[in-house]
């Protein structure tokens, strides 16, 4: 799949930090989705939908981009994929037990309509799980993000349509934190130059990062890298 910098792609060594950072959230969702009917709204490359399916979910994937939807159909034929508008989901009311949308809402102009429609397709008591970069710590100036969110903004947005059951922040675990203690931000190290020009130690650590190198907490959300909110449809 074409590397755009906005769509996380597995198997690319210099994208490994971002891929594992996203993968960590998908893996954390495993207990929530097992034996459930799940919609991934904004599936991108499709690896996340496949991962959730491997965890025992019955997954439907959706993306607005035709190129992405075609790729998912080809790369992950076991995952049903639909091209559709995320603020007008092409599914009936009460179709899903869980709706998952990771690192997508910041790309949408009408975030309120998106959350409302995610709630519409959930059965009563179903769960919406949304993740997004924390604008308080994310590098500024991303032209593809019409609206990034603070923890309070995300909580208020999702809470206006459902009952918030949990909110977490993702942060670097001990190994990445120790690396940064002597060298500075690993994110800054990656965006400072083209990956071909990274110092050897940056290349080495980026290649080696795994999903378990990230931690989750329900405190200090302002300092977290990514935000994850869970809400129940009344």
Apex 36 CA angle, 94 and 99, nearest 5: 55
Query: In CATH, which of 3.40.630.30, 3.40.50.150, 3.40.50.2300, 3.40.50.620 is domain 13-232?
Result: 3.40.50.150
CA proximity to 38, closest of 19, 20, 63, 56: 56
DSSP secondary structure letter of residue 10: T
Cα-to-chain-centroid distance, residue 172? 16
Task: Say what the pLDDT of residue 10 is.
Answer: 87
Question: What residues have CB less than 8 Å from 213, skipping those under 6 apart?
Answer: 20, 24, 172, 173, 175, 176
| pLDDT level of residue 141 (50, 70, 90 thresholds) | confident
Task: Say what the pLDDT of residue 2 is.
Answer: 59
Mean pLDDT, the chain, rounded, equals 95
Residue with tokens 């190129």: 67
Task: Say what the pLDDT of residue 86 is.
Answer: 95
**pTM across the whole model:** 0.94
| pLDDT level of residue 209 (50, 70, 90 thresholds) | very high
Task: Say what the pLDDT of residue 120 is.
Answer: 98
Q: What is the mean pLDDT of residues 181-205?
A: 96
> Where along the chain do its domains lie?
13-232
| pLDDT level of residue 108 (50, 70, 90 thresholds) | very high
Apex 209 CA angle, 172 and 220, nearest 5: 10
Task: Say what the pLDDT of residue 5 is.
Answer: 58
Q: What is the mean pLDDT of residues 169-181?
A: 97
> Which of the pair, 181 or 9, is modelled with greater confidence?
181
**Does 106 have pLDDT greater than 80?**
yes
Q: What percent of the chain has pLDDT over 90?
A: 92
Task: Say what the pLDDT of residue 69 is.
Answer: 93
Tens of pLDDT along 144-164?
Answer: 899 999 999 999 999 999 999
């Amino acid at each position: 799949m074409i590397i755009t910098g906005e769509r996380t792609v597995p198997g690319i060594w210099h994208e490994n930090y971002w891929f594992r950072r996203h993968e960590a959230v998908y893996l954390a969702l495993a207990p929530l989705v097992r034996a459930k009917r799940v919609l991934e709204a904004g599936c991108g490359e499709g690896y996340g939908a496949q991962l959730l399916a491997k965890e025992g979910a019955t997954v439907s994937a959706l993306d607005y981009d035709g190129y992405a939807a075609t790729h998912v159909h080809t790369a992950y034929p076991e995952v049903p994929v639909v091209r559709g508008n995320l603020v007008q989901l092409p599914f009936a009311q009460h179709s899903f037990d869980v709706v998952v949308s990771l690192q997508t809402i910041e790309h949408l102009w009408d975030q309120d309509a998106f959350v409302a429609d995610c709630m519409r397709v959930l059965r009563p008591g179903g769960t919406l799980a949304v993740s997004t970069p924390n604008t308080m710590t994310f590098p500024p100036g991303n032209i593809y993000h019409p609206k990034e969110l603070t923890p309070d903004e995300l909580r208020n947005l999702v809470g206006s349509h459902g009952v918030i059951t949990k909110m977490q922040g993702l942060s670097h675990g001990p190994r990445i934190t120790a690396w940064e203690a002597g060298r500075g931000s690993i994110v800054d190290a990656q965006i400072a130059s083209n990956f071909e020009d990274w110092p050897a130690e940056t290349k080495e650590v980026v290649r080696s990062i795994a999903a378990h190198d990230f931690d989750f907490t329900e405190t200090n959300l302002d300092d977290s890298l990514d935000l994850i909110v869970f809400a129940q449809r009344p």
